[in-house]
Amino acid sequence: MPPRHARQRRVVVTGIGCVTPLGCGAAATWQAAVAGKSGIRPITSFETDGFPVRIAGEVRDELDLGNISRKEARRLDRMIALAVAAAREAVEDADLSQGVDHDRAGVAIGSGIGGLGALEASFDVLARRGPTRISPFMIPMIISNMAGGYVSILHGLRGPNLCHVSACATGAHSIGEAARIIERGDADLMLAGGSEAANTKLGVAGFTAMRALSMRNDDPAAASRPFDVDRDGFVMSEGAAVLVLEEAEAARARGATARAEFLGYGLSADAVHMAIPTEHAEGAQRCMRLALADAELGPTDVDYLNAHATSTPAGDPSEVRAVRSVFESHVNRLAVSATKSMTGHLLGAAGALEALLCVRSLETQTLPPTINLDCPDPECDLDHVANKARETRVDVALSNSFGFGGTNATLIFGRC
């Protein structure tokens, strides 16, 4: 892949880490995704009696929090703990034990909702026991930036430390903005991604009230079905994903291996509605075109697109129309998959996880499938890598993330 923007510092991915409903760790998650497995099951984190929606994507395995004591772990909302586990793997994968200037290494880990579990628990304490029994750790447990803050503390990263909150585009915005920080010279290395743990009573009830969630309680594994004519909403999931981004020359100097190159980033707003995209998703179109321009690539240069595709009746065909508008005749040669069919929707962590899966696609020359695509919607007609992974040449991968509030982000990565 030729260097991008000779006037700018190049950015590469040197480490990845995640915890998802498909497994703890990037290897386990990737293996399950390529196998076309679903991580959606009945909810176990709370009693669902009386809930119209009783399914979600949960992280079932025990989290590896390193040397954090049990006492300290109890002071972390699950959103923070998920981020800590994902970041720990990414740091180990990138081997940041030596050759890193910690004054020029930072963190950009966001969350769409924040510490909802800790907030719910605190309201319960307030109602039952009064205001004087609220934990002094409540505020640090619920604020979204504490995931990145805690990761910064654990790994001694003293560079930029910030948190983006942009609903379902959070993870992608975090990665794009972290890359910008490196490109303009404010840091040489950034841990970037997203974390979410909103599978709580309030979270599930709230999204249910919006009529956004699938109610396929009798068949959880088949509930998330992007582009399928029988889709009935998205499936909430928890998890976290973190990428280590580095300036290419600094990474080479310390002997790091580049997994992929960051090529482009676009962002835009629909400026129309809080939750519903326009019919032709003009905001998404602008976002993809901006990312392509930033990467100095044309539509025909893109081999693979990881779609936002949440499995909602309105969102999926809107994105397809946007993709068709941007890629025109090349769309018939563009492979598109919706990995939320397997992972569910990780909300603020979704964009980071899907970026990670794009990196793995570039490394392995394998595309994860769109599962549960039994009866494709004619309005969503694309090459959806249906139901089975595909081995093929992949040099450039694009990932879309769109969030409530009409916020959009597109990331582009290239094979090293």
CB 378 within 8 A of CB 392: no
Kindly report the pTM of this predicted structure.
Answer: 0.96
Q: How far is Cα 304 from Cα 337, in angstroms, rounded to an integer?
A: 8
Mark whether 287 is an active-site residue: no
Is residue 308 annotated as part of the catalytic site, yes or no? yes
Instruction: List the domain boundaries for the chain.
Output: 11-253, 263-415
Q: What is the pLDDT of residues 317-364, one digit of tens each?
A: 999 999 999 999 999 999 999 999 999 999 999 999 999 999 999 999
Q: Which CATH number fits domain 263-415: 3.40.47.10, 3.40.50.720, 3.40.1440.10, 3.30.70.1380?
A: 3.40.47.10
Amino acid, res. 346: L
- Tokens at residue 130, please? 């009064």
- Of the residues 155, 164, 173, 308, only one is catalytic, namely 308
Class of the CATH domain delimited by 11-253: alpha beta
Q: What is the DSSP letter of 256?
A: P
Mean of pLDDT values over 100-126: 97
Provide the pLDDT confidence category of residue 3 given band limits of 50, 70 and 90. very low
Query: How many helices, marked H, and strands, marked E, lie in the chain?
Result: 13, 15
Strand partners, 228: 376
358 is catalytic: no
The angle subtended at Cα 19 by Cα 255 and Cα 192, nearest 5°, is 50
Residues 372-384 have a mean pLDDT of 97
Paired tokens of 58: 């949960």
Q: What is the pLDDT of residues 149-192, one digit of tens each?
A: 999 999 999 999 999 999 999 999 999 999 999 999 999 999 99
11-253 and 263-415: same fold?
yes
Q: Which amino acid is at 373?
A: L
User: How far is the C-alpha of 56 from the C-alpha of 78, rounded, in Å?
Assistant: 16
Catalytic residue from among 18, 24, 168, 380: 168
> Could you give the CA distance from residue 222 to residue 414 in angstroms, rounded to a whole number?
32
Residue 242, strand partner residues: 17, 193
Nearest alpha-carbon partner for 17 in 97, 79, 88, 74:
88
| pLDDT tens, position by position, 27-81 | 999 999 999 999 999 999 999 999 999 999 999 999 999 999 999 999 999 999 9
Separation CA 56–CA 203 (nearest Å): 11
CA distances from 90 to 228, 309, 404 (A): 34, 26, 28
What does the mean pLDDT of the chain come to?
96
